[in-house]
A and B are shown apart, each in its own frame.
Chain A
Amino acid sequence: MPAHDVLIIGAGLAGQRAALAAAQGGASVGILSKVHPVRSHSVAAAGGINAAISLDDDWHSHAYDTVKGSDFLGDQDAIEIMCSQAPAEVMHLEHIGVTFHRNEHGLLDLRAFGGASMKRTAYVADITGQAILHVLYEQLMKHHETVDRFEEWFVTSLLRDERGVCCGVVARDVRTGAMEVFHAKNTILACGGAGQVYSPTTNALIVTGDGIAHAYRIGAPLMDMEMVQYHPTTLVENGLLITEGARGEGAILLNSEGERFMEKYAPNKLDLASRDVVSRAEQTEILEGRGVGANKDGIYLDITKVPRKRTLEALREIVNIGKDFAGVDITREPIMIRPGQHYIMGGVKTDSDGATPIEGLYAAGEVACVSVHGGNRLGANSLLDTLIFGRRAGEHAAKRALGMPMPTTANGQLNDDVAAIDAILARDHSGRRVSEIKRELGETMNQYVAVYRDQEGLDTALGVVKRLQEEAERAYIDDRGTVFNQDVLGAIELGYMLDCAEATVVGAIERKESRGAQFRTDFPERNDDEWLKHIDLTRGEDGTPRVSYSPVTITQWQPEERKY
């Protein structure tokens, strides 16, 4: 059975960056992912990566914008680390081969992005995530002797020894169905968010909250799970993402009266206010009857303002998305968008080295909550988060592994997981289909735990989630095979998603104020006196979340009224 100093679960940007950093630190490294690494959802990050690299920029300005974007819920020590280390990280990416767009002087070009006080987003057309992900994978291929890759392996459990220290995972080889124990001195969760809890979502089908559920199930606290980002520009047709880079390049939002309504909501930053602000503005316009389209549930994004040559060169992917998925030539006519689930700011609670309160367990990227995004993440800060904290987790874990013996465990968990899968395969067709439960979950969350929330809706959502948890216990599947049985993995993922959904709803009920992405119509004000704190959720004996609080770290920026 495989044994590594550092085992990484997930091979998107955070995971691959952690693997390379840990290998550089002299550790033996394994990286395991349920899909081939280049299929990871980081590939879909479009617009760019923030760093104060311009000579007239300063990382303090980037940090302040991030703090303000977070609605003062972000931990300022972690934000300072991220923003001050950003320029060096972007230069590192450039040196290993990322094809960042250049300006006329041959230097990195920068574009405008939401919530930023100046242009500081480096980019590769609108495929920045893809370009970085593929370049990191080039590096993994280069370092194949020091990093073992386990591609298309699905984790079923985290392992803990008798002292409660995390010491590896149990995983299933998707291709053969074989189950195996992976021993590790350190385990880093880097397996992304939980967007599939919502429907529609911009997130890929693989984004099912696996890592969040794994950590939660072995007792790690989740933090700020109520903070769910709705992206202002997702396609009405099917929820696909239209990059914020479009507005960065000059596109504007219009309601059914042809009015540039952001003038009312954010007179200074207009269409480039932070995402929570823009999404709420759009939702208000729609609720007040000024939406566009047959159902009046959309908003126009007018990209024709951007010069056509520039659109074709720098926004190529959304030209294709418009054409292929909405039948619209975005260089000639506006496209219909609306707010849609995009990102979760919450996740597994970590310190600024990615360490969770469970010894031996780290988390980095969207799965984690450091917290650098607080109540609302700025566009182009997520790639940065994955890379900075992926690297730091990898480095820290490699150091921790030094001089430590390789842990061993009994096969109890492996046997339990094998039995659990056999039980799913053996279920008769008396319950509901996994796919039906998943659809009801997604629609419920999108209805009640969205841009605007209130007690009644959240209570309804919690009731549905509880019922679905019970139904999921009996949900049936069709595939009884071992080779590429995606059906049985889907049933397991449903359980992960329901854990995440429950935490999100409980957090949203708990936070009786409006801050960042959480807007309670029954508590419409931000309340720093009572709620300038993180909500931590730990799994109780009975399987339901226990609530506790932790303070927000404030270093240089006191909370103030937030205006864009």
Chain B
Amino acid sequence: MAETHRPPEQFTLRVRRYNPESGEAPYWDEHTIELEPHRSVLEGILQAKARFDGSIGIRCSCRAAICGSCGVRINGEPGLACHTHLDAARASAKDGTIEIEPMGNMPVIKDLIVDMDAVHWKKIQRVTPWLLAKQPTPEREYVVAKDAMVDVTQTMACIQCGACVSDCLAMEVDPGFIGPAALAKAYRFVGDPRDDRQRERLVDLSEDPQGIFDCTHCFKCVDACPKDVNPMGQIMRLRRVAISDQHIVDANNGERHEAALTTLVRDYGLLHEAELVPRSYGGNSWFGKFHPAAGKELLSLLPTAVKAIAKGKIGIKQALLGHKLAGADLKAVQRIYQTVESRPERYELNLYISGEDE
């Protein structure tokens, strides 16, 4: 049995402050608090508020990582203040002082409080966030598979804290991107067997250039999520259902890009960059490069290619002919394809559905 009582220690918090009424720029403010090391950063902030300065602004309520109010950045990483231990936060601080800032990608209202309506909730509303249930409504419950319900419960577990939105790199570049939280919410309906508009939802999110194919697959949201919702994983599942099950052609060329990439890896064992663009745009064969759409795309990428060659990142021969694995290795790669493609159903890994008993 773990004895968790450890004596209180001092921790210094460096809080990003901003008062919209002062006309002053944001600044840093430091307070030293005293708490047991396994207490949360939120408890530290609340102590600073109670003892030294009640004007520090932070939304908070449950203290137990369930209400989703206290999303902040701690030492540059997004998360819940109530879900981060003081000792862990001090260990990850660059100079031993725990740095607390408001979340990113959303305007700051005051101190650690951001405008979630302007970004997060607006995007949630974009995905028609309610069940469009199959009709007629049954007298009792809809009869659905147990695993299907546990599966969508993973996205239902999202507490709308905004941590994933805070650090979404795609949204930083393209603020119009629907983003990880809202797309995870979309999966909650697409994956729900009671919903009657799954194809329409997927067509909508595929044809929107800021939809599911705007995600750059960077994993930031997966790391940020305090509830294991795995937003990027949900986006990838939306893509797989859209492409493989519904055969939807998207506005970002994502479906053709994926086909070209998987074909190239199967044929070469490695990615053949020079072939990827022409095949993605001109058709998934060696002849793709002669299609006008491919020519246009290749032309636009020419400066990038020239720069890469000039800097020695790729050779001209490699750029044109690509690289290929040796025979045995290539066969091993192709065996993976055979195994996966011979399965009657696609495996969907959902860590929320737990494994076998020990």
A478 at the interface (CB under 8 A from B): yes
- Give residues of chain B (299-358) contacting chain A, Cβ–Cβ below 8 Å: 352-358
**Chain B residues within an 8 Å CB radius of A478:** 53-55
Q: Is the CB of B61 within 8 A of A141?
A: no
Q: With both chains docked as a complex, state the minimum distance between the C-beta of B37 and any C-beta of chain A, in angstroms.
A: 11
Q: With both chains docked as a complex, state the minimum distance between the C-beta of B348 and any C-beta of chain A, in angstroms.
A: 17
New A-B pairs, 10, CB < 8 Å, besides A96-B133, A238-B63: A36-B116, A41-B62, A94-B142, A124-B156, A130-B159, A135-B131, A308-B358, A324-B83, A327-B4, A333-B1
Interface on chain B toward A: helix, strand, loop, or mixed SS?
Answer: loop
B236 at the interface (CB under 8 A from A): no
B2 at the interface (CB under 8 A from A): yes
Residue-wise, chain A 218-259 has the 8 Å CB interface mask toward B (1 for contact) of 000000000000000000011011000000000000000000
B93 at the interface (CB under 8 A from A): no
Cα(A315)–Cα(B156), bound, Å: 15
A125 at the interface (CB under 8 A from B): yes
Asked whether A321 and B130 contact (CB < 8 A) given A107-B143, A312-B354, A482-B21, the answer is: no
Cα(A84)–Cα(B160), bound, Å: 34
Cα(A47)–Cα(B337), bound, Å: 44
B141 at the interface (CB under 8 A from A): yes
Cα(A38)–Cα(B157), bound, Å: 12
Chain A residues touching B, range: 35 or more
Cα(A373)–Cα(B99), bound, Å: 46
**Chain A residues within an 8 Å CB radius of B83:** 324
Cα(A433)–Cα(B66), bound, Å: 29
**Chain B residues within an 8 Å CB radius of A238:** 39, 43, 63
- Which chain A residue shows the least CB distance to B110? A484
Q: Is the CB of A484 within 8 A of B4?
A: no
A175 at the interface (CB under 8 A from B): yes
B129 at the interface (CB under 8 A from A): yes
Q: Is the CB of B54 within 8 A of A487?
A: yes
Asked whether A205 and B61 contact (CB < 8 A) given A100-B141, A435-B49, the answer is: yes
Residue-wise, chain A 167-200 has the 8 Å CB interface mask toward B (1 for contact) of 0000000010000000000000000000000000
Q: With both chains docked as a complex, state the minimum distance between the C-beta of B343 and any C-beta of chain A, in angstroms.
A: 24
Which residue of B19, B49, B354 contacts A309 across the interface (Cβ within 8 Å)?
A: B354
- Give residues of chain A (73-108) contacting chain B, Cβ–Cβ below 8 Å: 91, 94-97, 99-108
Q: Is the CB of B152 within 8 A of A241?
A: no
**Chain B residues within an 8 Å CB radius of A96:** 130-131, 133
Cα(A294)–Cα(B1), bound, Å: 12
**Chain A residues within an 8 Å CB radius of B355:** 309
Asked whether A44 and B140 contact (CB < 8 A) given A138-B129, A142-B130, A308-B358, the answer is: no
**Max count, chain A CB within 10 A of own CB: residue among B51, B69, B138:** B69
Q: With both chains docked as a complex, state the minimum distance between the C-beta of B51 and any C-beta of chain A, in angstroms.
A: 7
B145 at the interface (CB under 8 A from A): yes
Q: Is the CB of B153 within 8 A of A39?
A: no
Residue-wise, chain B 65-83 has the 8 Å CB interface mask toward A (1 for contact) of 1111100000000000001
Cα(A486)–Cα(B70), bound, Å: 14
Total count of chain B residues near the partner, CB < 8 A: 73
**Chain B residues within an 8 Å CB radius of A44:** 62, 64, 66-67
Cα(A446)–Cα(B142), bound, Å: 45
**Max count, chain B CB within 10 A of own CB: residue among A35, A105, A324, A328:** A324
Residue-wise, chain A 444-482 has the 8 Å CB interface mask toward B (1 for contact) of 000000000000000000000000000000000111111
**Chain B residues within an 8 Å CB radius of A118:** none
Q: Is the CB of B152 within 8 A of A99?
A: yes
Q: Is the CB of B4 within 8 A of A141?
A: no
Q: Is the CB of B146 within 8 A of A141?
A: no
B31 at the interface (CB under 8 A from A): no
- Which chain A residue shows the least CB distance to B356? A309
B150 at the interface (CB under 8 A from A): yes
Asked whether A435 and B51 contact (CB < 8 A) given A106-B144, A483-B20, the answer is: yes
Which residue of B4, B111, B144, B354 contacts A102 across the interface (Cβ within 8 Å)?
A: B144
Residue-wise, chain B 117-159 has the 8 Å CB interface mask toward A (1 for contact) of 1000000110001110100011111111110011011001111
Residue-wise, chain B 1-45 has the 8 Å CB interface mask toward A (1 for contact) of 111110000000000000111000000000000000011100100
B254 at the interface (CB under 8 A from A): no
Cα(A333)–Cα(B139), bound, Å: 44
Q: With both chains docked as a complex, state the minimum distance between the C-beta of A265 and any C-beta of chain B, in angstroms.
A: 24
A134 at the interface (CB under 8 A from B): yes
Q: Is the CB of A100 within 8 A of B130?
A: no
**Chain A residues within an 8 Å CB radius of B357:** 307-310
Q: Is the CB of B130 within 8 A of A38?
A: no
- Which chain B residue shows the least CB distance to A96? B131
A552 at the interface (CB under 8 A from B): no
B294 at the interface (CB under 8 A from A): no
B203 at the interface (CB under 8 A from A): no
**Chain B residues within an 8 Å CB radius of A100:** 141, 149
Q: With both chains docked as a complex, state the minimum distance between the C-beta of B311 and any C-beta of chain A, in angstroms.
A: 46
- Which chain B residue shows the least CB distance to A322? B2
> What are 18 A-B residue pairs whose CB atoms fall within 8 Å in the complex?
A36-B116, A38-B67, A39-B61, A96-B131, A100-B149, A101-B149, A124-B156, A125-B153, A138-B131, A206-B61, A294-B5, A309-B355, A313-B353, A321-B65, A328-B1, A328-B2, A480-B55, A486-B57
Q: With both chains docked as a complex, state the minimum distance between the C-beta of B122 and any C-beta of chain A, in angstroms.
A: 11
**Max count, chain B CB within 10 A of own CB: residue among A309, A326, A486, A487:** A486
Q: Is the CB of A326 within 8 A of B4?
A: yes
Q: With both chains docked as a complex, state the minimum distance between the C-beta of B90 and any C-beta of chain A, in angstroms.
A: 16
- Which chain A residue shows the least CB distance to B191? A99
**Chain A residues within an 8 Å CB radius of B1:** 300, 328, 333-334, 336
- Which chain A residue shows the least CB distance to B146? A102
A127 at the interface (CB under 8 A from B): yes
B296 at the interface (CB under 8 A from A): no
**Chain A residues within an 8 Å CB radius of B159:** 38, 43, 130
- Which chain A residue shows the least CB distance to B139? A91
Q: What is A's interface to B at a CB cutoff of 8 Å?
A: 35-36, 38-41, 43-44, 53, 91, 94-97, 99-109, 124-125, 127, 130-131, 134-135, 138-139, 141-142, 151, 175, 204-206, 237-238, 240-241, 293-294, 300, 307-310, 312-313, 316-317, 320-321, 324-328, 333-334, 336, 433-436, 439, 477-487, 490
**Max count, chain B CB within 10 A of own CB: residue among A325, A326, A327, A478:** A325
B109 at the interface (CB under 8 A from A): yes
Q: Is the CB of A483 within 8 A of B5?
A: no
- Which chain A residue shows the least CB distance to B140? A91
**Chain B residues within an 8 Å CB radius of A324:** 65, 83, 85
Cα(A139)–Cα(B51), bound, Å: 41
| Minimum-distance CB pairs A-B, first 10 | A97-B131, A479-B55, A435-B50, A312-B354, A478-B54, A487-B54, A106-B143, A138-B130, A204-B61, A102-B146
Q: Is the CB of B66 within 8 A of A483?
A: no
Q: With both chains docked as a complex, state the minimum distance between the C-beta of A93 and any C-beta of chain B, in angstroms.
A: 10
Q: With both chains docked as a complex, state the minimum distance between the C-beta of B34 and any C-beta of chain A, in angstroms.
A: 15
Asked whether A97 and B143 contact (CB < 8 A) given A204-B67, A484-B109, the answer is: no
Cα(A39)–Cα(B40), bound, Å: 19
- Which chain A residue shows the least CB distance to B113? A484
**Chain A residues within an 8 Å CB radius of B130:** 96-97, 138-139, 141-142
**Max count, chain B CB within 10 A of own CB: residue among A95, A108, A293:** A95
B101 at the interface (CB under 8 A from A): no
Cα(A312)–Cα(B113), bound, Å: 33
Q: With both chains docked as a complex, state the minimum distance between the C-beta of A397 and any C-beta of chain B, in angstroms.
A: 24
B60 at the interface (CB under 8 A from A): yes
- Which chain A residue shows the least CB distance to B51? A435
B217 at the interface (CB under 8 A from A): no
- Which chain A residue shows the least CB distance to B150? A313
Cα(A224)–Cα(B34), bound, Å: 39
Q: With both chains docked as a complex, state the minimum distance between the C-beta of A102 and any C-beta of chain B, in angstroms.
A: 4
Asked whether A240 and B64 contact (CB < 8 A) given A478-B53, A478-B54, A484-B57, the answer is: yes
Q: With both chains docked as a complex, state the minimum distance between the C-beta of B207 and any C-beta of chain A, in angstroms.
A: 22
Residue-wise, chain B 186-199 has the 8 Å CB interface mask toward A (1 for contact) of 00100010100000
B59 at the interface (CB under 8 A from A): yes
Cα(A131)–Cα(B227), bound, Å: 14
Cα(A310)–Cα(B355), bound, Å: 10
